[in-house]
Amino acid sequence: MNQVVDKPLSINDISAMKRRGEKITCLTAYDASFAAIIDKAGIDIMLVGDSLGMVIQGHSTTVPVTIEQMVYHAQCVSRARRRAYLIADMPFMTYGNPDLAAKNAAQLLQVGGAQMVKLEGAKVDCVRFLVEQGIPVCGHLGLLPQSIHQLGTYSVQGKEPKAAQKLRDDAQKLQEAGASLLVLECVPATLAKAISTEITIPVIGIGAGVDCDGQVLVLYDMLNIGVSKRPRFSKNFMTGCDGVEEAIQAYFHAVKNTEFPSLEHSF
């Protein structure tokens, strides 16, 4: 395993990585056992994603996931965390207004043990209010899985000039509202590169090309153990590895050395 310092990472440490040009590694985690392996491998951020609705619960979307379930899984992960920065997703319809967002975010931090919450979309008012209450926030733009019934399909976002400009504007607005991180999902690599350059907060990509400040994948996808087809932007890191620990290390080194994602994993 990687020999890493045991000091827990803060958002200041993650931000410093962008400033010095070090790629940020992130994986989803849903339980203590996998979290312990991810943490020991030196992964910088663990995301308790509402993707658990699909890879753990077997749903076809993330929509059915509840705040109680997210708190439970955040607790499981936080008990095993020693170093990685811990983010938890705000599930569907738990941040419809600032007061509701604050109530549910508080649960994820106070009970779940998360250090930051992630919201999908340009929820500028909610982000600003949460930050005012001392709650760190990660934004999420591009493909928004919680909006799949409105989108109709899981497809690349921001391909047209108008849509691309909106994503760039929304990224600026989220930063101005106080967001400390931004996830970009399924957007053209050239657009993701532009956004990563234009804003000062770290940008974590998933299906967004190699020029983001960091990368995130769903753990079960990169271990090739998901119940559904692995997305094109993901990669089976179990290939050529003797086990889970070695696969996670392979992912860690591939991201740090800008070997992943390659063109075949980008749009």
Please tell me the distance from the alpha carbon of residue 186 to that of residue 122, in angstroms, as a whole number.
16
Are 142 and 77 in contact by the 8 Å Cβ rule? The answer is: no
Report the distance separating Cα 9 and Cα 138, nearest Å: 16
Tokens 């591939």 locate to: 254
Burial (CB < 10 A; 0-12, 13-18, 19+), residue 8, is middle
Q: Pick the closest to residue 102 from 87, 119, 85 (CA basis).
A: 119
- Residues 221, 225, 228, 230: is their CA dihedral positive or negative? positive
Rounded-to-integer distance, Cα 212 and Cα 189, Å: 8
Q: Which residues contact 74 (CB under 8 A, 6 or more apart)?
A: 48, 86, 88, 108, 111, 112, 113, 114
Contacts (Cβ under 8 Å, ≥6 apart) of 66: 91
Catalytic residues: 185
